């Protein structure tokens, strides 16, 4: 199938994360079409906007924006009409709904969602904790962690841990190695949610082979042997079942999807823990 391309301009007075996520989520629904992204963060002055407009004029396409300054919005809309580039203020429909429901007008504050509040510092604390307790470095008191991820090598424990930390959860992860016994504290904890990450042996072998290739290491080992990996996965399933730890198959899941499933499990776990 031949693939077509279009220019997607994302203009933000903040970091641009909202626009990037919205643009990619929408574009992903169209097969055979790819967006050439042009991201312009922290656009807060007329001079900055004029530079953006010159880029749009050079490569017309769709323009999504999250600006709150009405003068900048008017200028961008005018320039895009001249180039035939459709525009959409991504936050406008949400603001309209909130204004109607709350009966109040919003205050134009660029980047207001990134204020240095308690939630922000909670995420920083969680990130520091997670980085310090990666790949088997469990805290002395395991209940310092909100979540502990366990699984054989190459089941995305580290990137999932970092994603969860960015959502404010202190996350440790522990590799399951056939000859390595579990720390007694891990099996005994009740406060921390322990989740087993599993994947198909084929998927794990593929990732491990790529890993060894990047390291220019010998791939003639049990580490990438299909039968040995299948035994590892089976053993990890049995271990999680024994301890009644929930498992998530990450074979066809993105990091975001895995993290979303873990967040659901964590909410249920916290309710049960508080109830007891």
From the list 73, 86, 70, the residue with the least C-alpha distance to 7 is: 86
Task: Name the token pair of 81.
Answer: 């009409």
Is residue 191 a known part of a binding site?
Answer: no
Is residue 84 annotated as involved in ligand binding? Answer: no
Task: Determine the 3-state secondary structure of 97 from DSSP.
Answer: helix
What span, in angstroms and rounded, lies between the C-alpha atoms of 118 and 116? 7
Greatest extent of the chain over all pairs of C-alpha atoms, in Å: 68
* 75 appears as a binding residue in the annotation: no
**153 labelled as ligand-binding?**
yes
- Tell me which DSSP letter residue 183 carries: P
Is 158 labelled as part of a ligand binding site? yes
Q: What distances in angstroms separate CA 171 from CA 70, 116, 157, one per listed residue? A: 42, 22, 10
Is residue 242 annotated as involved in ligand binding? Answer: no
Helix/strand/coil for 258: helix
Contact 53, 39 (CB under 8 A): no
Q: Which residues is 6 bridged to in the sheet?
A: 35
| E strand residue ranges, the chain | 4-12, 33-40, 62-66, 87-89, 147-151, 171-175, 193-198, 247-249
Torsions phi, psi of 11, nearest 5? -110, 120
Number of H helices, E strands in the chain: 10, 8
Binding-site residue set for ADP = 151-158
Binding-site residue set = 151-158
């Amino acid at each position: 199938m031949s693939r077509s391309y279009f220019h997607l301009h994302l203009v933000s007075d903040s970091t641009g994360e909202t626009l990037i996520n919205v643009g990619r989520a929408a574009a992903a629904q169209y097969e055979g079409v790819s967006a050439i992204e042009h991201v312009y963060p922290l656009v807060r002055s007329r001079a900055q906007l004029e530079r953006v407009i010159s880029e749009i004029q050079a490569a017309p396409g769709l323009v999504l924006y999250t600006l709150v300054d009405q003068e900048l919005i008017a200028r961008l809309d005018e320039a895009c009409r001249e180039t035939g580039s459709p525009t959409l203020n991504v936050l406008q429909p949400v603001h309209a709904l909130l204004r109607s429901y709350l009966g109040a007008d919003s205050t134009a504050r660029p980047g207001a969602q990134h204020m240095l509040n308690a939630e922000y510092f909670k995420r920083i604390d969680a990130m520091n904790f997670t980085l310090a307790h990666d790949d088997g470095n469990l805290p002395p008191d395991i209940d310092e962690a909100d979540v502990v991820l366990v699984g054989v090598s190459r089941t995305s424990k580290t990137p999932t841990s970092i994603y969860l930390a960015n959502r404010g959860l202190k996350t440790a992860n522990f590799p399951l190695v056939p000859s390595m016994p579990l720390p007694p504290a891990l099996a005994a904890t009740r406060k921390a949610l322990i989740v087993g990450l599993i994947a198909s042996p084929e998927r794990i072998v593929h990732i491990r082979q790529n890993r060894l290739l990047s390291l220019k290491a010998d791939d003639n080992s049990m580490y990438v042997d299909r039968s040995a990996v299948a035994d590892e996965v089976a053993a990890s399933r049995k271990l999680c079942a024994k301890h009644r730890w929930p498992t998530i198959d990450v074979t066809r899941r993105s990091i975001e999807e895995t993290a979303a499933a873990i967040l659901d499990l964590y909410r249920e776990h916290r309710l049960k823990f508080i109830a007891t």
